[in-house]
Amino acid sequence: MAQPLVKKDDDRDDEAEYSPFMGIEKGAVLQEARVFNDPQLDARRCSQVITKLLYLLNQGETFTKTEATEVFFAVTKLFQSKDMGLRRMVYLMIKEISPSADEVIIVTSSLMKDMNSKIDMYRANAIRVLCRITDGTLLAQIERYLKQAIVDKNPIVASAALVSGIHLLQTNPEIVKRWSNEVQESVQSRAAFVQFHALGLLHQIRQNDRLAVSKLVSSLTRGAVRSPLAQCLLIRYTSQVICESGNNTQSGDRPFYDFLESCLRHKSEMVIFEAARAITELNGVTSRELNPAITVLQLFLSSSKPVLRFAAVRTLNKVAMIHPTSVTNCNIDMESLISDQNRSIATLAITTLLKTGNESSVDRLMKQITNFMSDIADEFKIVVVEAIRSLCQKFPLKYRSLMNFLSNILREEGGFEYKKAIVDSIVILIREIPDAKETGLLHLCEFIEDCEFTYLSTQILHFLGIEGPKTSDPSKYIRFIYNRVHLENATVRAGAVSTLAKFGAAVDELKPRIFVLLRRCLFDSDDEVRDRATLYLNTLGGDGSVVETDKAVKDFLFGPFDIPLVNLETGLKNYEPSEEAFDIDSVPKEVKSQPLAEKKASGKKPTGLGAPPSGPPSTADAYQRALSSIPEFANFGNLFKSSAPVELTEAETEYAVNVVKHIFDRHVVFQYNCTNTIPEQLLEHVIVIVDNSEADEFSEAFSKPLKSLPYDSPGQIFVAFEKPEGVPTLGKFSNVLKFIVREVDPTTGEAEDDGVEDEYQLEDLEIVSADYTLKVGVSNFRNAWESMGPDFERVDEYGLGPRESLAEAVNTVINLLGLQPCEGTEVVPPNSRSHTCLLSGVFIGNIKVLVRLSFGLDGPKDVAMKLTVRSEDETVSDAIHEIVASG
């Protein structure tokens, strides 16, 4: 060792990159591994070779199956050596190679011998290795030793057995559960880690038995646990028990709260923090319960250790979301953290302050943040921008200083995501705070004067087109918009043209001036820009006469574009150039895949921005084509909706049948997809006999049987029913599959001549209300809601009874209605007591429906719901209520 030390000093400079593994190569090392087979083992050399192998694995090198097997077999030879260091490396190597089941057998006896060795290190490691590579059968053989090891007087051996038990519980629970006596004994161990591991295993063995867990917790909280880690575990188990036992509100005292509180005075910081965190996360924690925890977290805020400060501020940040007032005491400590070296801590401090700050402190805070913003990374800035947005929503009167702040940071350098967060925030504030509209719009106008992001420019132009004309002086925006036509790329120019047209359509006084500007755009170098200018000049009547813009044009310009782009794309692809113009109404409106995150400008022309939507052509489109190819269905009109396939048979039966319900205006078509899974049978003249005695408003119109159904090639049977037009008629249908069976000789594949008639009972099928609603999202629910107006609004309240959770209740209602959740409102934040969900869709007869669901917890589990429906037709509003009332 002396030699390299001396050498190091003078070699340091020219040999900075020296590594003992320089130029190492897998092939060469595998060759070297042959020394493992030497009759006279050189322990030192073998150790070095294993190190090299481990180095290769560590650097991400992989061994092929044969290589791994070879290495494994060679390594097993090393059990002959008595050298402890080498043995330790052998254990590590075996774990790294993770041999296959048939190879494990080779080392089993060596490892079992080591498990009974006198040397503790051998016993501990042999247990760990054997438990890692073993399967269930071997486990039964070594169970006896493992039980012994759990109560071994050497803590290392006991820990090894206990930790192995925790892992094995995942794969062989029934065996590990038999050890609970031994495990229980070692929970009392004096060795810290043995206690920790024993407690972890004991809890996992009992975790499904609430009573046992509760007993375990209540016996241990009386103070038998010494190890800090075990104490942390106990705190976790305790808060789980508290959570499951529910609120004991009668006495006002929570069981075990005293224990958590006492842990706040533990000598280990780890335990103090775990307890404080557990208290802040209690369900419906009161401020009296919260205060002691906040006090210790406050102390941590001024710790010299970054990890402690981070942990404390992160926890307080979460508390501030629900109990902002409890955290205000920490504000002074928190403010000093704004200048913390660690930027994660500083950002958490800022966002916490923004949540707890009161109206009077906003201005001071903004000043501090301005200094802070210049030296943090974009990702942190985005967090701050979002916090400022919610602060502004909380204190609308402060919009001036907050809006100023946003516009200032908008002018500074920053990446796309950051700028987008700022623009989104300004847009939201403009929507929510009417006073902020004009200043906000001007800030945005200034921004697009010098904006390098095409996406943001077009988004802002679109937004200007909607909001700008409604301001007191729309003309002042025209200059900003028209400047785009001169200075920007084609995409932005096209966006600017559309925006100009919107001003023209909405503000009659501006029309002549807009026409002049649009006419200039006719000479643009880009097709899209010219096309748009021509289109708008024509629709707005740009022949010089100033006329009232009619409703159809306004709808075209301002109305939401509610056809999914994927569907439109396939529609256009299928369209063959002919005399007949492309009919946009023929494009199905159903959203097949989950729509992308809500974009504030989805009402944009498909030629606008972003990547073209990709994905498979919608199945609705495929169905439409398939159905229209059957002459009998051709006169049924446009397909309204096709349901997802419903299985009518159990899995793995002789015949697999599922059904797709196609809903038309006056008809319902059942498409039975049948598969024959018996190779020895050929089915012929397959029909489905549908009994509609429980669906008497339907009358069978037509049935299309299947001529033959050979093995494993699916075929379709169609049955059509007539139903009253445009009404959501419900009913239940029972189905029987009828056919003629002909035996097939499996060797020749030839079918016998005579067939036997047979039938096969299928499950019933139902037409439910959700079959009559289409999921169609709207881009801005609020706008859509307001423009729909309260004419056909229907409100009612429902009690949903006891439910698993609020989220479960919300999902049930969404599925029942079959409407599209908007703006991400289908997600219920954890622990919330109430939730509002927005849904939109189209009802049969092409009637738009908007639904606002307000859920509230009434008592511990009972969910109450207020349902407000707006639609274009009062019968539809009523129908939606009926769906819920009957569901």
Partner 1 sequence: MSPSKLELNPSVKNILLLDSDGRRVAAKYFSDDWPTNSAKEAFEKLVFNKTQKTNARTEAEITMFENNIIVYKFVQDLHFFVTGSDDENELILSSVLQAFFDSVGLLLRGNVDKKEALENLDLILLRIDEIIDAGIILETTPNTIAGKVGSNSTESGAPLSEQTLSQALASAREHLARSLLK
Name the nearest CA neighbour of 56 among 33, 80, 79. 33
Strand-pairing partners, residue 756, are: 741
Rounded-to-5 percentages of helix, strand, coil across the chain:
55, 15, 30
Name the nearest CA neighbour of 852 among 837, 872, 873, 830. 837
Of the two residues 95 and 147, which places its CB atom closer to partner 1 in the complex?
95
Strand-pairing partners, residue 739, are: 758
Q: How far is the CB of 861 from partner 1 (least distance, A)?
A: 15
Name the nearest CA neighbour of 836 among 848, 821, 858. 821
**Is residue 226 near partner 1 by the rule CB under 8 A?**
no
Of the two residues 418 and 718, which places its CB atom closer to partner 1 in the complex?
418
Q: Which two tokens stand for residue 878?
A: 């009523």
Of the two residues 138 and 160, which places its CB atom closer to partner 1 in the complex?
160
Pick from 111, 308, 433, 485 the residue near partner 1 by CB under 8 A: 308
- In DSSP notation, 183-245 reads HHHHHT-SSHHHHHHHHHHHHHHHTT-HHHHHHHHHHHTTTT---HHHHHHHHHHHHHHHHHH
**Is residue 54 near partner 1 by the rule CB under 8 A?**
yes
Strand-pairing partners, residue 601, are: none
Of the two residues 278 and 533, which places its CB atom closer to partner 1 in the complex?
278
State whether the Cα torsion 552-554-555-557 is positive or negative. Answer: positive
Q: How far is the CB of 127 from partner 1 (least distance, A)?
A: 11
Of the two residues 276 and 392, which places its CB atom closer to partner 1 in the complex?
276
Q: Which two tokens stand for residue 480?
A: 């900003």
Of the two residues 229 and 444, which places its CB atom closer to partner 1 in the complex?
229
Stretch that binds partner 1, among 290-298, 302-310, 599-607, 844-852 (CB under 8 A): 302-310
The SS3 call for residue 91 is: helix
Q: CB of 237 within 8 A of CB of 216?
A: yes
Pick from 26, 77, 177, 236 the residue near partner 1 by CB under 8 A: 236
Pick from 30, 33, 71, 86 the residue near partner 1 by CB under 8 A: 86
Stretch that binds partner 1, among 226-234, 381-389, 398-406, 575-583 (CB under 8 A): 226-234
**Is residue 156 near partner 1 by the rule CB under 8 A?**
yes
**Is residue 304 near partner 1 by the rule CB under 8 A?**
yes
Stretch that binds partner 1, among 41-49, 360-368, 599-607, 682-690 (CB under 8 A): 41-49
Of the two residues 43 and 565, which places its CB atom closer to partner 1 in the complex?
43
Pick from 184, 331, 342, 787 the residue near partner 1 by CB under 8 A: 342
CB contact burial 402-432 (16+ within 10 A = b; e otherwise): bbebbbebbeeebeeebbbbbbbbbbbbbbe
Site string for partner 1, 98-137 (x = CB under 8 A): -----------------------x--x---x---x-----
Question: 47: left (phi > 0), else alpha (psi -120 to 50), else beta?
Answer: alpha
Stretch that binds partner 1, among 99-107, 172-180, 236-244, 552-560 (CB under 8 A): 236-244
Long-range contacts formed by 361-368: CB under 8 A, 24+ apart:
361/331, 362/391, 362/395, 362/398, 362/401, 362/402, 363/398, 363/401, 366/401, 366/402, 366/405, 368/335, 368/338
720 burial class (0-12, 13-18, 19+ CB within 10 angstroms)?
A: buried
Binding residues among 672-691 for partner 1 as defined by CB under 8 A: none
Pick from 179, 237, 664, 721 the residue near partner 1 by CB under 8 A: 237
Q: How far is the CB of 596 from partner 1 (least distance, A)?
A: 22
Size of residue set near partner 1 by CB under 8 A: 82
Pick from 110, 134, 159, 642 the residue near partner 1 by CB under 8 A: 159
Name the nearest CA neighbour of 872 among 782, 794, 817. 794
Binding residues among 61-80 for partner 1 as defined by CB under 8 A: 62
Rounded Cα–Cα distance for residues 591 and 608 (Å): 20
Of the two residues 308 and 421, which places its CB atom closer to partner 1 in the complex?
308
**Is residue 243 near partner 1 by the rule CB under 8 A?**
yes
Rounded Cα–Cα distance for residues 739 and 755 (Å): 9
The SS3 call for residue 29 is: helix
CA angle 58–64–67, rounded 5-degree value: 90
Q: How far is the CB of 825 from partner 1 (least distance, A)?
A: 21
Binding residues among 280-299 for partner 1 as defined by CB under 8 A: 281
Q: How far is the CB of 42 from partner 1 (least distance, A)?
A: 8
Stretch that binds partner 1, among 10-18, 554-562, 695-703, 743-751 (CB under 8 A): 10-18
Give the CA distances from residue 120 to residues 77, 179, 598, in Å, rounded to whole numbers and listed in that order: 22, 21, 61
Of the two residues 89 and 741, which places its CB atom closer to partner 1 in the complex?
89
Q: How far is the CB of 93 from partner 1 (least distance, A)?
A: 10
- In DSSP notation, 773-802 reads EEE---S-HHHHHHHH-STT-EEEEEEEEE
Number of Cβ atoms within 10 Å of the Cβ of 153: 9
Stretch that binds partner 1, among 320-328, 337-345, 479-487, 607-615 (CB under 8 A): 337-345
Of the two residues 229 and 879, which places its CB atom closer to partner 1 in the complex?
229
Q: How far is the CB of 60 from partner 1 (least distance, A)?
A: 3
Binding residues among 494-523 for partner 1 as defined by CB under 8 A: none
**Is residue 786 near partner 1 by the rule CB under 8 A?**
no
CA angle 788–789–792, rounded 5-degree value: 95
Give the CA distances from residue 285 to residues 40, 242, 277, 759, in Å, rounded to whole numbers and listed in that order: 69, 11, 12, 62
Pairing between strand 706-709 and 699-704? Answer: unpaired
Binding residues among 172-201 for partner 1 as defined by CB under 8 A: 193, 196-197, 200
Q: How far is the CB of 731 from partner 1 (least distance, A)?
A: 39
Of the two residues 167 and 431, which places its CB atom closer to partner 1 in the complex?
167
**Is residue 85 near partner 1 by the rule CB under 8 A?**
yes
Reported residue count of the chain is 887
Of the two residues 283 and 358, which places its CB atom closer to partner 1 in the complex?
283
Q: How far is the CB of 466 from partner 1 (least distance, A)?
A: 36
Pick from 158, 163, 388, 537 the residue near partner 1 by CB under 8 A: 163
Of the two residues 193 and 556, which places its CB atom closer to partner 1 in the complex?
193
Of the two residues 304 and 360, which places its CB atom closer to partner 1 in the complex?
304
**782: Cα within 13 Å, side-chain hemisphere:** 6
Helices (H), 59-135: 65-76, 84-97, 101-115, 120-133
Pick from 39, 223, 830, 860 the residue near partner 1 by CB under 8 A: 830
Of the two residues 46 and 819, which places its CB atom closer to partner 1 in the complex?
46
Q: How far is the CB of 831 from partner 1 (least distance, A)?
A: 9
Binding residues among 739-758 for partner 1 as defined by CB under 8 A: none
Binding residues among 358-417 for partner 1 as defined by CB under 8 A: 379
- Residues near 477 by beta carbon (within 8 Å), at least 6 away in sequence: 441, 445, 464, 468, 471, 503
Q: How far is the CB of 27 from partner 1 (least distance, A)?
A: 19
Pick from 171, 207, 219, 834 the residue near partner 1 by CB under 8 A: 207
Q: Which two tokens stand for residue 250?
A: 């009668």
Stretch that binds partner 1, among 43-51, 247-255, 285-293, 780-788 (CB under 8 A): 43-51
Stretch that binds partner 1, among 3-11, 368-376, 716-724, 740-748 (CB under 8 A): 3-11
137 burial class (0-12, 13-18, 19+ CB within 10 angstroms)?
A: exposed
